[in-house]
Amino acid sequence: MLWIHEQKQRYYRLTVNRDLFGDLCLVRTWGSLVDDCGGSKTEVLDNERSLASQMHVIKKQRQ
């Protein structure tokens, strides 16, 4: 999922990966569209249900 705020020139992205141990990871990445400022946060989740729940919460916050 990708959110872009044109007026503030910012973006926010969610990606889902598995780590080397096979755990589900939700990676949040955010930053500026005009320079290299930004950051990321990786959250390890127990199962797909908690992944879906967390993504739903984030989606509501971003809209």
Per-residue pLDDT, averaged over 2-7, amounts to 91
CA-based nearest residue to 10, from 29, 30, 27, 40: 30
Report the pLDDT value the prediction gives residue 23, as an integer from 0 to 100.
94
Report the pLDDT value the prediction gives residue 54, as an integer from 0 to 100.
94
Per-residue pLDDT, averaged over 16-33, amounts to 96
Whether residue 4 contacts residue 33, with contact meaning beta carbons closer than 8 Å, is answered with yes
- Percent of the chain residues topping a pLDDT of 70: 100
Report the pLDDT value the prediction gives residue 63, as an integer from 0 to 100.
78
- CA atoms of 14 and 53, how far apart (whole Å): 13
Q: Which CATH architecture has domain 2-62?
A: Roll (3.10)
Distance in angstroms between the alpha carbons of the first and the last residue of the chain = 12
- CA atoms of 24 and 45, how far apart (whole Å): 5
